[in-house]
A and B are shown apart, each in its own frame.
Chain A
Amino acid sequence: MSITRTESPVVRYSLIGIALSYLVLFIFMPLFIVFASALQKGIAVYLNSLTDIDTIAAIKLTVITALIAVPLNLVFGVAASWAIAKFDFRGKNLLLTLIDLPLSVSPVISGLIFVLLFGLQGAFGPWLRDHGWRIIFAPSAIIIATIFVTFPMVARELIPVMKAQGNDEEEAAITLGASGWKTFWFITLPNIKWGLLYGVILCNARAMGEFGAVSVVSGHVRGMTNTLPLQIEILYNEYNFTAAFAAASLLAFLALFTLVIKSLVEFRFRAELKAERKK
């Protein structure tokens, strides 16, 4: 592939310059500041703030939330994209639009929806209270809000992949005598595995990093209903900068890790898509 270079070097380098300074200003500098501030008072203080009892509780809750939300959204995403890509039914477009809803609604509104549903003034609030269940301002609300905010992530990745692949291989498997389950396990799943992994990575990153929706439903009870992003906010508001940045560095690590895996998967995925197009 050759690109004809018609622009003068001045134009080229200034474009590259603009892009680079943008990246430095908005990505590298903040990232550097996160780590620099976290380690400002030395590694001992850094580790100390990470092992703070409330921070550990926040990490735990974040991990538990992701461990529940991601598998659920994985199942939902596969089911929804299977239905949308492989079947024609009434209301298919409505379903597609609804799947996008959490992405188009402000996270604060997403959180508010659940307060209105399960809060004491909400639709199910009194009934829940009478049965001794507490959802809002408890970990369960955080999990529910996170599931809501992240449920499009897997489906969005899978629908185009499944649509592009069509039904042919599944139909072939069925005519060869495979059951529905065997067809899914041996044919569909291997064909979507990279798209699925990609969706799960994005879903996990969002689940662990979600702030807005979770903030509304959490109640900010220390050591109880704080996830890592909420804990960071509290620490920061208390002028405990080192601890705040130490916790933030964990999320930054997660983001970097996600980015690396995502690029690796994208690379693999692209190679497979290319092979697929060669057909």
Chain B
Amino acid sequence: MSIEVKNIVKTFDSFKALDDVSLKVETGELIALLGPSGSGKTTLLRIIAGLDTADSGEILFSGNDARNKKIKDRNVGFVFQHYALFRHMTVFDNIAFGLKVKPKHIRLPDDKIKAKVKELLNLVQLDWVGDRYPSQLSGGQRQRIALARALAIEPKVLLLDEPFGSLDAQVRKELRHWLRRFHDDLHITSLFVTHDQEEALEVADRIVVMNKGRVEQIGTPQEVYHKPANVFVLNFLGNVNLFQGRVIDGKLYLGNAPNVLQGSKSEIKSANLYIRPHQFDVARQSQGDNAIKATVKYINPAGSSVKLDLSPESGNELHVEITQQEFSQLQLIKGEDVFVVPKDVTFCEYEI
């Protein structure tokens, strides 16, 4: 089932939680709603589920208006941030709940319900916890049970609100890989909310970046990371260095050196260039005009890349990432001077 949201507006008192939001989720897609807290992503998810109502705008499920549909007729599975497992029921009864509360004439017989719950427990690889209570499970296990419970009613759409938000880093990484594989097997149209850009980039087919109740950009992880639509998206999806360049005689200057990266236009007076930490070459000798001389202030060699904080002769501190290999070739030490050359620019803002 596809979901289409058109021009949704939602106001709480005087706070505009959603301001003309439109997006489309195709059947079988896994979409991330990414944004800082207060950007309206959870509100949007709740409106799609029917837990909240929009002030105006349309919601279409497979092209049909869903606004007047009750929650239980929307066929939506919802996974809550804090799991919301029924604390007084066993795991088994939690998962069976959605099947047991069905009206008598469509309810499955007890043995079928039992078999179905077993199947779901196997699916989330927790077949041995059926008779435990939620308080006896770890956070990751609870989240998987919450997912199994949501899947029990065979929803056409799965909505997940910060599904890994309250888990620790290790479990979080495991579980998001698991979710990706899980989605690849089930192909159920899914929408999940997150404020963790790494999570969104890693798991989602497409990312909807939201800020202050508006959609800033919709695109694949590559698109939003490498071709951000604006400065907000650029900043939110990773570290970035800002250069204020001046344009003199048609040449763009970073600091004192003319920069040949951009084919500059004569009508441009100045430009803001945004460059990601990995888009630099670092060398001991100056390599041409556009090299920036800087002092090494801090080295963090832990991780897949080496992170450097560099202080240039003028301008803001630079955050640069080089590979472990480059680092061992350069043999950098704190306090020495190096030359950095931007290889590429992620985003440009021009002033005319």
Contacts and interface: CB of A to CB of B under 8 A. Distances in A.
Interface string A3-37: 00000000000000000000000000000000000
A186 B101 contact: yes
Contact of B76 (A175, A182, A186, A187): A175
Given A186-B101, A279-B135, A175 B86 contact: no
Contacts of A276: 87, 135
Given A175-B77, A182-B101, A191 B49 contact: no
B173 interface: no
A44 interface: no
A177 B80 contact: no
Contacts of A132: none
Interface string B110-135: 00000000000000000000000011
B51 A177 contact: no
A187 B86 contact: yes
A275 B133 CA distance: 10
A182 B101 CA distance: 7
Size class of A's contact patch? 20 to 34
B140 interface: no
Nearest to B81: A168
A256 to B, nearest CB: 31
A179 interface: yes
A164 to B, nearest CB: 12
Interface in A152-184: 168-169, 171-179, 182
A177 B76 CA distance: 9
A279 B86 CA distance: 12
A174 B84 contact: no
B6 interface: no
Contacts of A191: 87-88
Contacts of B85: 169, 172
Contacts of A190: 88
A174 B80 contact: no
A177 B150 contact: no
Contacts of A168: 80, 82, 84
B72 A177 contact: yes
Contacts of A275: 87, 135
25 contacts: A168-B80, A168-B84, A169-B87, A171-B78, A171-B80, A171-B84, A172-B78, A172-B86, A173-B101, A174-B71, A175-B72, A175-B77, A176-B150, A176-B152, A176-B153, A177-B72, A177-B101, A177-B153, A178-B72, A182-B101, A186-B101, A190-B88, A191-B88, A276-B87, A279-B134
Given A172-B149, A174-B72, A178-B97, 13 more contacts: A169-B85, A172-B78, A172-B84, A175-B77, A177-B72, A178-B72, A178-B101, A179-B101, A190-B88, A275-B135, A276-B135, A278-B135, A279-B134
Interface of A: 168-169, 171-179, 182, 186-187, 190-191, 275-276, 278-279
